[in-house]
Structure 1
Amino acid sequence: MELHLETVALFSLKLAYESEDSSPILRDDLVMGDYQRDVFELLVRRGDVEAIQLKVDACVGLALEAIGGVDKPLGRELWRLSSELRNARSMEQLGTQLLSLKDYLKDIL
């Protein structure tokens, strides 16, 4: 699950900060500092669903803003998927919603 969390963060931050004339954002970039796999690994081991949701929500919020917000079709779907992740109450539910969110972000990159 840690890899999927890191991937969601990476894809979100790419949408928010990466531009055609700049170098690509990579997993070891400074902007990924709070969203690296080891950070998520600790939260997953603790079973801290709420902290994971807050971290993912921060990244997805930036991506949502970058694609034009909930007024745009891409933004509405991203909001819907992130809302489902925010409503997860267990690690199992979180994992299921996380995969949908990761796949969607990958598609719109």
Structure 2
Amino acid sequence: MKKSILLSAALFALAGCVSHNFAEGRRENWRCAGDKEFSLRQVPGAIELYASGATHRLAPSGEGAFSNGTVTLARDGGRATLTGVHNGPFENCRQRGGLRFW
């Protein structure tokens, strides 16, 4: 009996440790002209962008734009342009359907 009470208490304590920021980690996939692709996800105060085999952390730098000083993502409506990455620029990018978790 004591063991089941302790087990229940431990499970309730662990349940209280869950993160409630379910938007973090949600990945957006983008396809651009020339069959180029990149993906990104929101993290606190920035986005993490994966393109050309590298991950870049970009901070907000204006309305619809993110940058780390070298790599810049500019979004306008459903389109985006990515500059400063290997094999770039990525132009005429559109978000692909479906969201996945990284």
Compute the TM-score of the two structures, normalised by the length of structure 2.
0.24
**Greater share of residues in strand:** 2
Output the TM-score relative to the length of structure 1.
Answer: 0.23
Which has the larger helix fraction?
1
Look at both structures and tell me which one has the larger radius of gyration over its CA atoms.
2
Using CA pairs under 8 Å that are at least 6 residues apart, name the structure with larger relative contact order, 1 or 2. 1
